[in-house]
Amino acid sequence: MSRIGKTPIPIPKGVEVTLNQGTIQVKGPKGEVTVDAHPMIVYQVDGGQVQLERKQNNKIAREQYGLRRTLLNNAIVGVSQGFEKGLELVGVGYRVSVSGNTVELSVGYSHPQQFTLPEGVSARTEGNKLFVSGISKEHVGEAAAKIRRIRPPEPYKGKGIKYINEEIRRKAGKSAKK
């Protein structure tokens, strides 16, 4: 049995959870998110928390139990606190700038690389660090991963775009001839 699914989800102050037919509406100070409800899961909002229960004990219901709880929890955290991923540019002459919903990266190519942020995702810079933020954990993570793919870190000098908490496994270069 899923230990994740059994845990009730606390609803913080200022967040409103509404159960609709087939969807769950979550409203908070940062915005509004709609999460799909699964027909084999029963959702109950009571006393400042959301509790999930399975209707049956078959394989699909067990698979969806923990997943649906995590998706709903991410929506509640997103509208109350938001999510943020940090990226760092490592390399001589590597720069990043943000204008509106466009991120411009100078990462060693002949022309600056442009990346358009999806709706609901914003970015800010601090020196050679780029912070991608929004209310949807999925959209923030996907935007950060796409930006990182423009110039992934290489293992010899460590140059490229990496997550702030990422550790690059370094390789030894060619040894000198004797």
Give the pLDDT band of residue 89 (cuts 50, 70, 90).
very high
Domains in the chain, start-ordered, CATH in brackets? 3-80 (3.90.930.12), 83-163 (3.90.930.12)
- Model's pTM, two decimal places? 0.88
Q: Give residue 41's pLDDT.
A: 93
pLDDT of 178 over the 80 cut: no
For residue 5, what is the DSSP state? Answer: H
Measured CA to CA, the distance from residue 50 to residue 25 in angstroms comes to 13
Contacts of 51 (CB under 8 A, 6+ apart): 8, 9, 43, 44
- When mean pLDDT is compared across 12-21, 87-96, 169-178, the lowest value belongs to 169-178
- For the segment 152-178, the average pLDDT, to the nearest whole number, is 88
CB 119 within 8 A of CB 92: no
Give the pLDDT band of residue 1 (cuts 50, 70, 90).
low
